[in-house]
Amino acid sequence: MISATDQFPPTNKPAESVNGVTVRLAGDSGDGMQLLGTQLTNTSALSGNDVATFPDFPAEIRAPRGTRAGVSGFQVQFSAEEIFTPGDGLDALITMNPAALVTNIEDLKPGGILIVNSDSFASKDLKLAKLEENPLDGDSLNGYRLIEVPMTQLTRTAVAETKISVKLADRCKNFFAMGLVFWLYGRDVEPTLRFIDAKFRGKEDVALANRLALMAGWNYGETTEDFASTYQVPAADLEPGTYRNIMGNQALALGLVTASQISNKPLFLGSYPITPASDVLHELSKYKQYGVRTFQAEDEIAAVCSTIGAAFGGSMAVTTSSGPGIALKGEGIGLGLILELPFIIIDVQRGGPSTGLPTKTEQADLLMVMHGRNGESPLPIIAASSPADCFNVALEAWRVATQFMTPVFILSDGYIANGAEPWKLPEVDSLEPIEINHPEATDSPFLPYSRNKQLARPWAVPGTPGLMHRVGGLEKEDGTGNVSYDPQNHQHMVETRARKVQKVAEVIGDLEVDGPDTGLLVLSWGGTHGACRTAVRTCRQAGHSVAHAHMRWINPFPKNLGQILKRYDQILIPELNTGQLKMIIKSEFLIDVEGLNKVQGKPFAVTEIIEKIKSMAT
């Protein structure tokens, strides 16, 4: 464990204290920008900052080198205050080539630090980036603190003693850039040195080269006259406790394993690889010591069907996917719904329709998970609001699934899945167990579709003597579960399944409001929580009467939602779609709602929401 104050090595230059910093690292998709960003994030979290990240990478694994299409970026905000987003305008931009420079420069604040690898601005590099002129030559960058660093040359020199090939040496330049950034923000290099040793175990020369490159970058900052001082971001005032940095998909995996442990049900994951959900499969496949069985199915349909098979057998069953996969799973989910078996379906949303924007974020699957099945087929839906919230969402989803005997949808998105923030480790003893009861035979005949007060049917699992029964996709007779074509029975069963989902509202708690009871209410769901919370608080400080409510359960609605909506003169729903929650709210409550809608594959900037709030307030 590392205390929050360690910093190695110490600098001799003065340090300027700042409240928070937003940095973006941009380079070729093969340049190791994601790795660099992750290290900077983890180190900043370890130094006690609040952090939030936004990785942004192309769908192609190795898009043509040096082209604009191949630019991969990673943005991180680290702060001494509580933050909810990875930041809007950049304080610093580090670019490894011309393409990364031209595609990111517009987000750099005036006067912001711009570090470029000046060795990658030869005419062939400019041509690849489709640039007529070298941007370093003209005056287009005059508004920024441009720092040109010949990173390629400096890295080659630094690693010369290892005698590794030039090709390998050039791969170390991201660690050089990392060293420089670490120096600039007073970050401790120790955790990254440890990371290098672990990652390159068995390749000692490569490990040494990367260590040398990292320290060369650090020393460059310490010696160059380009920087008079470093920037120090003090530790944030976080709640006491033990923390780790966590990404959304990791938190989902940990939440699922935890739910399995506290419900005493072995976890089964049926999944098919798809961006940006695959990391949940990768993570869970590492947890076999927790009894986790992962099944990489032949397709999305087999993934959900195997999940239902495992649920029938009495496991905690989960399937994970993204939009296109959820579309394929529709029929299977409908079966799970009519079987009334508990399992979890996770949709890590990405840009659509069709294949759409696999690596970009969007919230446009809401209506699909709400209504995208044949027949009357309501299901509970919970949406994660941040990377760390994914953990809680997994627990809540399993609690509801088992209490009400129903599949439950979890919505996440690409922004949450790959974004990271500090997560306070829960106290194991504070986790309330999830009680599950399987029936056993009694003297009376077994009725597989009898119901308790919550309208849940019994979860009788194969292997239980005397409870043999058949389930299936044909409509069932109430009570017996036998096939029934009776008109009144069908109406009764459709209504009963819907009422059961509505009853979930009794256990999910009320919707909470941050802010005043009158004026404008910003109503949000999912990954837009951070941007909305920040924008609303900023506007309130500026004197606007604006409140924020964030929905986690979208189906059913929290019981007090209608009352809350009535209190406000105006309601704004910002969504990364063309107005899906807005449509549901309007049809349910017959009220006027304003939307702020964006489908650019990017999360909201806080300023976009602030501007909208201000325009509505006047």
> 372, 426, 439, 579: which one contacts another protein (CB under 8 A)?
426
Distances (CA, A) of 484 to 338, 489, 497: 13, 7, 16
CA distance 201 to 381: 44
| Residue at 321: amino acid letter | S
> 155, 306, 361, 386: which one contacts another protein (CB under 8 A)?
306
Binding mask 327-356 for another protein (x = CB under 8 A): ----xx--x---x-----------------
Near another protein in 223-252, by CB under 8 A: 235, 238-245
B/e letters for 482-514, b = 16+ CB within 10 Å, e = fewer, are eebeeeeeeeebbeebeebbebbbeebeebebe
User: What's the chain's length in residues?
Assistant: 618
Among residues 247 and 456, whose Cβ is nearest to another protein?
247
Q: Can you list the alpha helix ranges (DSSP code H) found in 318-372?
A: 323-339, 366-371
CA distance 360 to 351: 6
Stretch that binds another protein, among 110-118, 291-299, 488-496, 502-510 (CB under 8 A): 291-299
> 16, 82, 299, 517: which one contacts another protein (CB under 8 A)?
299
- Shortest distance, position 331 Cβ to another protein, whole Å: 5
Taking alpha carbons only, the member of 512, 598, 594, 505 closest to residue 549 is 512
> 200, 231, 290, 589: which one contacts another protein (CB under 8 A)?
290
Decide if 398 contacts 263 (C-beta within 8 A).
yes
Query: How many residues in the shown chain lie near another protein by CB under 8 A?
Result: 75
Near another protein in 190-229, by CB under 8 A: 191
Decide if 379 contacts 304 (C-beta within 8 A).
no
β-pairing verdict for 513-514 and 316-321:
unpaired
Distances (CA, A) of 599 to 24, 35, 361, 578: 22, 27, 9, 7
- Shortest distance, position 499 Cβ to another protein, whole Å: 25
> 102, 189, 212, 257: which one contacts another protein (CB under 8 A)?
257
Among residues 253 and 531, whose Cβ is nearest to another protein?
253
- Shortest distance, position 220 Cβ to another protein, whole Å: 26
> 25, 80, 90, 254: which one contacts another protein (CB under 8 A)?
254
Near another protein in 493-532, by CB under 8 A: none
Among residues 311 and 417, whose Cβ is nearest to another protein?
311
Stretch that binds another protein, among 202-210, 254-262, 594-602, 604-612 (CB under 8 A): 254-262
Asked if 270 touches another protein (CB under 8 A), the answer is yes
Among residues 244 and 614, whose Cβ is nearest to another protein?
244
Among residues 46 and 405, whose Cβ is nearest to another protein?
46
Taking alpha carbons only, the member of 486, 529, 518, 540 closest to residue 363 is 529
Q: Write the burial class of residue 117 (CB in 10 Å: 0-12 exposed, 13-18 middle, 19+ buried).
A: buried
Among residues 5 and 541, whose Cβ is nearest to another protein?
5
Taking alpha carbons only, the member of 68, 123, 52 closest to residue 100 is 68
CA distance 359 to 460: 41
> 20, 48, 419, 515: which one contacts another protein (CB under 8 A)?
48
Decide if 387 contacts 380 (C-beta within 8 A).
no
Stretch that binds another protein, among 14-22, 23-31, 70-78, 296-304 (CB under 8 A): 296-304
Neighbouring C-alpha atoms within 13 Å toward the C-beta of 603: 30
| Nearby residues of 279 by Cβ (< 8 Å), 6 or more positions away | 247, 249, 250, 253, 417, 418
Among residues 474 and 591, whose Cβ is nearest to another protein?
474
Asked if 15 touches another protein (CB under 8 A), the answer is no
Among residues 308 and 455, whose Cβ is nearest to another protein?
308
Among residues 219 and 482, whose Cβ is nearest to another protein?
482
H or E element in which residue 231 lies: strand 230-232
- Shortest distance, position 238 Cβ to another protein, whole Å: 5
- Shortest distance, position 479 Cβ to another protein, whole Å: 14
Q: Which two tokens stand for residue 34?
A: 């994601």
Among residues 203 and 288, whose Cβ is nearest to another protein?
288
| Nearby residues of 356 by Cβ (< 8 Å), 6 or more positions away | 323, 324, 350, 362
CA distance 121 to 117: 8
- Facing residues of 596 across strands? 574
Asked if 293 touches another protein (CB under 8 A), the answer is yes
Near another protein in 385-424, by CB under 8 A: none
Near another protein in 577-616, by CB under 8 A: none
Among residues 312 and 557, whose Cβ is nearest to another protein?
312
CA distance 365 to 350: 8
- Shortest distance, position 56 Cβ to another protein, whole Å: 23
Among residues 128 and 339, whose Cβ is nearest to another protein?
339
- Shortest distance, position 387 Cβ to another protein, whole Å: 14
Among residues 245 and 349, whose Cβ is nearest to another protein?
245
CA distance 529 to 523: 9
Q: What are the backbone angles phi and psi of residue 320, rounded to the nearest 5°?
A: -125, 145
Among residues 164 and 269, whose Cβ is nearest to another protein?
269
The residue with tokens 């690693």 is: 159
Binding mask 437-476 for another protein (x = CB under 8 A): -------------------------xxxxxxxxxxxxx--
> 154, 308, 521, 581: which one contacts another protein (CB under 8 A)?
308
